[in-house]
Amino acid sequence: GAGVSQTPSNKVTEKGKYVELRCDPISGHTALYWYRQSLGQGPEFLIYFQGTGAADDSGLPNDRFFAVRPEGSVSTLKIQRTERGDSAVYLCASSDRAWRGNEAFFGQGTRLTVV
Amino acid sequence: GQQLNQSPQSMFIQEGEDVSMNCTSSSIFNTWLWYKQDPREGPVLLIALYKAGELTSNGRLTAQFGITRKDSFLNISASIPSDVGIYFCAGSDSWGKLQFGAGTQVVVTP
């Protein structure tokens, strides 16, 4: 498809487990963003990639969170030793800053539930 | 995390009425964006604003980038049932990093 794709759409995991969330951006988009959205709130920034490098990871809440984008396209958000407070919707967005300025297009999100 | 101040928090309106919501910030942004989010979906971009004072329309939607670059509003004219959803404002820095408001829940009754 032409949009941002995130997998899985839902993930239930036990406290303490490791999870990986995947994002396929729009083809050709060089900028990729991860956000986290808690119930009743707006999305909150986690990390931004320009190409393969993390240009800004100031939103990652602690060192249990890590993200990679090794080939400048697909990105994976990794969460170690999950806690119940990590439960949220994790959103990925991409943009082609060369054409659309700062406009970002979002995927449908991965709903993570830690039990 | 810090968010923009978006109001109102919710609106219950009748079909055909106009809707207005706004967003303010203590920080200056170089881009303001408005998104709509349906349940279990990601936010969908409605309007992007790039210049202070800019007024932009998209169908029945009109949005303005405040002259101080610290605020924006969104108007929806002649609301219809499919306008129901949560509307988010977002301010963007130079790198496209977005700071969101808490959202305005719009409910449209026939």
DSSP result, A18-50: -EEEEEEPPTT--EEEEEEE-TTS--EEEEEEE
Checking if the pLDDT of A106 tops 80, the result is yes
- Distance CA(B12)–CA(B10), nearest Å, equals 7
The stretches of chain B forming alpha helices (DSSP H) are none
- The pLDDT-based confidence of B97 (bands split at 50, 70, 90) is confident
Q: Tell which of A102, A103, A111 to mutate to test the B interface (max B CBs under 10 Å).
A: A102
Per-residue pLDDT, A100: 55
Interface probe, candidates B95, B99, B104, chain A, greatest A C-beta count within 10 A: B95
Cβ of B43 within 8 Å of Cβ of A44? The answer is no
Contact A50, A67 (CB under 8 A): no
CA distance B16 to B80: 6
**pLDDT on residue B3:** 66
Mean pLDDT of B47-53: 93
Count Cβ–Cβ pairs < 8 Å, chain A vs chain B.
Answer: 81
Q: What tens digit of pLDDT does each residue of A43-60 get?
A: 999 999 999 999 899 999
Top pLDDT among A22 and B97 is at A22
Closest Cα in chain A to B105: A40
Place of tokens 């203590």: B26
Q: Name the residue facing B43 among A55, A100, A106 (closest C-beta).
A: A106
Instruction: With cut-offs at 50, 70 and 90, classify the pLDDT of residue A96.
Output: confident
The torsion angle over the Cα atoms of residues B45, B49, B50 and B55, rounded to 10 degrees, is 160
Q: Is A66 part of the contact surface with chain B (CB cutoff 8 Å)? A: no
Binning pLDDT at 50, 70 and 90, where does residue B45 land? Answer: very high
Interchain proximity B100–A44, CB inside 8 Å = yes
Where helices occur in A2-115 by DSSP H, the ranges are 97-100
